[in-house]
Amino acid sequence: MNEYQQAFEELQSKHTFKGMQWFGDRKELVERYSWAVPNESVLLYLSEFEQLVEVGAGSGYWAHCIEENGGSVEAIEPEPPGETYVELEQRLVDSSELTGEAVLMVWPPVNEPLAKDVVEQDPSHILYVGETRGGCTASDEFFDALEGRYGLVAKIDLPSFAGVNDDFFHYVRKI
């Protein structure tokens, strides 16, 4: 059961002026679950991959939801929080470790090297949840490297808080 989507929908039905009314509730939900709200469409899509590696998994909420839908996820988080939804591997991702893998990143930190470093490891699939270039996730260097090496094959709309424009994007390596 996707508790986050249920809580998001309940919050949405409570308030008409979402941008101001949601701020305190959004912060609480982000801390409890994740920066992005997974929906059934994206969870079913992700559960079709034979093996996913989620880099920067946070509390592991997305990995938990994918596994509940029959998928398999190796969740990696260098600094896990106290409470998690799945068992996390507490480590950084080593160079070239992701070659041939399908890598999931949910809201990689803005203007940090994580997302670009994943692209440079050349995985077969990059499954990215976040905003597009210029938004609150990843970096220009990530988008530059991504556009040069990968092609977009799927996009799934996600439930988003007011003022947030995040979605799911599936990129496949060109070569």
Q: Cβ(118)–Cβ(126) under 8 Å? A: yes
Amino acid letter, 154: A
CA pair distance 74, 87, nearest whole angstrom: 9
The CATH class of 3-173 is: alpha beta
Domain ranges of the chain: 3-173
Model pLDDT, residue 99:
67
* Residue 19: per-residue pLDDT: 43
How far lies 41's CA from each of 26, 116, 170, in Å? Answer: 22, 26, 13
pLDDT tens for each residue of the chain, 175 residues long: 799 999 988 887 776 554 444 567 888 899 999 999 999 999 999 999 998 999 999 999 999 999 999 999 999 999 999 999 999 999 887 655 776 689 999 999 999 999 999 999 999 999 999 999 999 999 999 999 999 999 999 999 999 888 889 999 999 999 7
